[in-house]
Amino acid sequence: MISAAHPFEDIPVQYRERPVFAMTSPMRPDVASVVADFSPYGPGVRCFLSPFDALLDMLFLRRKDPNAVEAVARSSLLPLNIFYSSRFRQRPLAVHLGWLAHDQRLVAQADGQLIRVVRDQAPQWRMRPRCLEKMGIDSGTWAALEQLHERAGLFAWCDTLQIVHQWFAEPAAAEPALQRSVAALEAIESIVVPVDRAEQVALIDPESGQWHFVPRDTIKLIH
């Protein structure tokens, strides 16, 4: 039965609901802004399932411009209109999967900007009215994440996500998490090669601080 309150409740769900993290950009105190990427569906909110990955990307961006990013924020702490264009309509998302790599080094553009591996998600109709606690991650994005992590031998990656969320939820854990991010950043080198020659995707295990490299052809979702 379809109700007025939840008109999509009888439609099969094609996504998983998960908390995501975005990077806020400096604006006036009364204006909220987040980093977004171009996508086939229009501007897509650059988002991360792991706040550790978001923190790393923030540090990467600050290398080039110290004022590029203000902070990493959980979706539940951001205004509704960042993620929703209407009561049930979730905006496009650019979901982070990893970083492009070659010869165990991160691939960068000539200006030093690192090249990310993302999955562009189209706008989605949600089963429930606007909820910022969890975003809809579609089945294709989830399958790509599973393929990459399993190929890297990170079979407990979902459990690790929960652990990392706890780090960022507890103030006492915030500083060690930042230190781990800086250490991971300093432990990896970059290389400038044409995008079509890069052969790997890089993932970081936040618990160990170790980088893992998997063949690029594990997925076909490089943008």
Can you tell me the distance from the alpha carbon of 168 to that of 145, in angstroms, rounded to the nearest whole number?
A: 21
Burial 123-141 (b: 16+ CB within 10 A, else e): bbebbeeebbeebbbbebb
pLDDT at 11: 37
Mean pLDDT of the chain: 84
Residue type, 9: E
Which residue matches tokens 């951001």?
78
The predicted structure's pLDDT at residue 9:
37
Distance of CA 118 to the CA centre of its chain: 8
E strands along the chain, which residues? 15-18, 21-24, 36-37, 44-48, 71-74, 89-90, 93-102, 105-107, 116-121, 124-125, 135-138, 190-191, 200-205, 210-215
pLDDT at position 128: 65
Q: What is the pLDDT of residues 50-71, one digit of tens each?
A: 999 998 899 888 888 888 898 8
Question: Percentage of the chain surpassing pLDDT 70?
Answer: 85
168 — pLDDT class (breaks 50, 70, 90): confident
| Domain parsing of the chain, residue ranges | 15-218
pLDDT interval class at 44 (50, 70, 90): very high
> Looking at residues 90-112, what average pLDDT do you find?
93
Kindly indicate the confidence band of residue 28, based on its pLDDT and cuts at 50, 70 and 90. low
> Mean pLDDT over residues 70-97, rounded?
89
Asked if 34 and 46 count as a contact pair (C-beta separation under 8 A), the reply is yes
